[in-house]
Amino acid sequence: MEKKGNAELMDKIVSLCKRRGFVFPGSEIYGGLANSFDYGPLGVELKNNIKNLWWKRFVQQRDDMVGIDAALIMNPKVWEASGHLKEFSDPLVECEKCKRRFRADHIEGKKCPDCGGKLSEPRQFNLMLKTFLGVTEDSVSTVYFRPETAQAMFVDFKNVLDTTRRKLPFGVAQIGKAFRNEVTPGNFIFRTREFEQMEIEYFIPVPKKDIDWEKVFEYWQKEMWAWATDELGIKKENLHDCECESENRAHYSKKTIDIEYDYPFGRSELYGLAYRTDFDLKNHFKEAPYEDKDSGEKLYPHVVEPTFGVDRSVLAVLLDSYAEEGERVVLKIKPSLAPYKVAVFPLLKNKPELVEKAREVYDALRKQFTVAFDDRGNIGKRYYSQDEIGTPFCVTVDFDTLKNDDVTVRDRDTMKQERMKIANLQPFLNGKLG
Ligand code: GAP
């Protein structure tokens, strides 16, 4: 197998994404919109599989977690209280010659990396994406698209508490879009101005000693690793913990560990874990929003926040599973993530009896799985075409099928083929796909 891990890999992934319908450049027929991307038919399946697995694992299968789905635009007072209007900024420098702008913390030296021109002194650039609500001149108000999904989990804290009667510790989770006016978006879907997050705010009693929050923090660190390796199938050796220095931490965080991934453009953040203390709840609620039922004590719970970028998950999964083996390109993604779980082929396109039988198999499997149907070209090409998009199994209907009601099942990873009765297909796939 050819070893990946080079700059070329990124180009190959971007090209595969466009060619096969995972991710397209946004607004392409109008010349595009810088750093905006659309998920195509296969991309949306992959992305939904990731989001659904995350929701199942962290919300539905846990006793101590509930979910919400809040508005993207919130009252601007939220962002005043959270500190985002004041603090949520990146240091920006501008080249005095070519006028290009860079994040000061992403470049070394005082010269423009593009033209060598002199760079300005850094100034803080707020990342909040502004828009306006209201239809008439005198009624419009400035509002902001949320830069993180997190704040709604704090703002809705009391509503969640009153409706679910949760006791500490418990978590609130949300999946949704976030928007940031990034100074230097780039590297495909790695850093965009519109992206998606899966976030958990895990509320704990006021820690008496550091160890009280530290052990929760360590627990979530392990959970995040388990998610990335067990559910997404990302190789351990490509993941790293990196503790943020205090000057690089967000304004609300007392401790942050980034889980970084070895992207072809360098090691960089995949996920983040922060100890937000009681910073957010204290800023939003004048009175302590939680009452301990046993002691009657009112308190501001503290928060440990595991946060997961959806788009970076998609990118890491694609990069990590991409392989070139001889003539074929294969995405060795976990079957649970694959856009199509199985593909069905009639051996020959121009034999109506084969096409009809293959359609029958296809229709039966579709009741339970996402299934592709392909009757173009020769079988070898069809296998390679499915390998490239990560389909774990291909089923071929041939002339023997018409006599014996059996089919050939081909495995993506081993490329081994086995003969199987149609009646056994569903249990076989259930066993393999879970
Ligand atoms: N609530 C905490 C928070 O928002 P963050 O580290 O700023 O923390 C969380 O963002 C995650 O969102 C990151 O780990 C990353 O996966 C993703 N993310 C952040 N900015 C992004 C961007 N511009 N494009 C794509 N994903 C981004």
pLDDT of residue 91: 87
Q: Is 263 left (phi over 0), alpha (psi -120 to 50) or beta?
A: beta
Q: Is the CB of 201 under 6 A from ligand 1?
A: no
The answer, yes or no, to whether any atom of ligand 1 lies below 6 A from the CB of 272, is yes
pLDDT of the residue at 3: 38
Q: Give residue 109 CA to ligand 1 midpoint distance, Å.
A: 26
pLDDT tens, residue by residue, 410-425:
999 999 999 999 999 9
Q: pTM of the full predicted structure?
A: 0.95
For position 275, what pLDDT does the model report? 97
Q: pLDDT per residue over 73-120, tens digit each?
A: 999 999 999 999 999 988 899 999 998 888 888 888 889 999 999 999
Rounded-to-integer distance, Cα 152 and Cα 174, Å: 9
Please tell me the number of Cα atoms within 13 Å of 269 on its side-chain side: 15
410 ligand 1 Cβ < 6 A: no
Residues in the chain, pLDDT under 50: 1-5
What are the structure tokens assigned to 64, written together? 């101590």
> How many A from CA of 150 to the centre of ligand 1?
11
Give the model's pLDDT for residue 4.
43
Ligand 1 center to 89 CA (angstroms): 14
> Which of 312, 313, 315, 317 has most ligand 1 atoms within 8 Å of CB, for mutation?
312
Burial of 263 (0-12, 13-18, 19+ CB in 10 A): buried
